[in-house]
Amino acid sequence: MTPASSPVVLLLAAGEGRRFGGAKQLAEIEGEPMCHRVARLVLGLGFPVVAVTGAHAEAVEHVLRELPLHRLRHEGWSEGMGSSIAAGTRHVMANHSRASGILICLSDQPLLNVEGLRDMVARHRVAPDKVLMARHNGIPGPPTLLPRDCFAELAMLTGPAGARSVIERDMSRVEFFDFPENLDVDTPQDLDDVRQHLLNTPNR
């Protein structure tokens, strides 16, 4: 059961990794599979976490097996990120009836800033009707915290655009949070960049 005024974290880990050339969720960063690293970080927020798997589901679920989260296998993952968000949202609606929002995070963002997420959650608690969105070097994108009144729309999504249509429907309610480095790992070069960044940031 989710406490009142608390979101559920939706961790998207269903992608095929076509540009990466395989299961990027399993790529190791400092000896830890990337999806495990991100799951561990978001679990630190203290909210329920639903990890949506799809492509490479068995391998990803095996990596996540010891973490206290729910693993939701989405057979329709190839329909795009929107479909994965929809599947996760339907699970939240059915199993977390008091959830005040959904915090969408991506398993390919291994530099995820937990303090930034805590700031978003703090704002959500005082302004639960707002859509809260990270911004990286001026570019908006996940993580994104969407309020409860968006659930019905989220549950109907499909296609590759994620939750963009829901967010853009009323930009007046969107607030942005500037996050530091938060590189998406889409290619092997991106992974090398993340590893190099961590090597050059000893006191993180």
Q: pLDDT band at residue 203, thresholds of 50, 70 and 90?
A: low
Residue 2 in domain: no
Q: What is the pLDDT of residue 4?
A: 53
Q: How many domains does the chain have?
A: 1
Residue 132 in domain: yes
Q: What is the pLDDT of residue 189?
A: 94
Is residue 2 predicted with pLDDT exceeding 50? Answer: no
Residue 181 in domain: yes
Residues with Cβ within 8 Å of residue 61, at least 6 apart in sequence: 53, 71, 73
Residue 1 in domain: no
Convert the pLDDT of each residue in 19-57 to its tens digit.
898 999 999 999 999 999 999 999 999 999 999 999 999
pTM assigned to the model: 0.93
- C-alpha distance from residue 106 to each of 16, 111, 172 (Å): 13, 11, 25
Residue 68 in domain: yes
User: DSSP letters along 103-154, please?
Assistant: EEEETT-TT--HHHHHHHHHHHHH-TTSEEEEEETTEEEEEEEEEGGGHHHH
Mean pLDDT of the 80-90 span: 96
Q: Which amino acid is at 135?
A: R
Convert the pLDDT of each residue in 130-146 to its tens digit.
999 999 888 899 999 99
CA 35, distance to chain mean position in Å, is 10
Convert the pLDDT of each residue in 169-193 to its tens digit.
999 999 999 988 677 899 999 999 9
Domain of 84, in residue numbers? 7-199
CATH code: domain of residue 14: 3.90.550.10
Q: What is the pLDDT of residue 142?
A: 93
Question: Half-sphere exposure of residue 160, counting CA atoms within 13 Å on the CB side?
Answer: 3
Residue 167 in domain: yes
Q: What is the pLDDT of residue 161?
A: 87
Residue 204 in domain: no
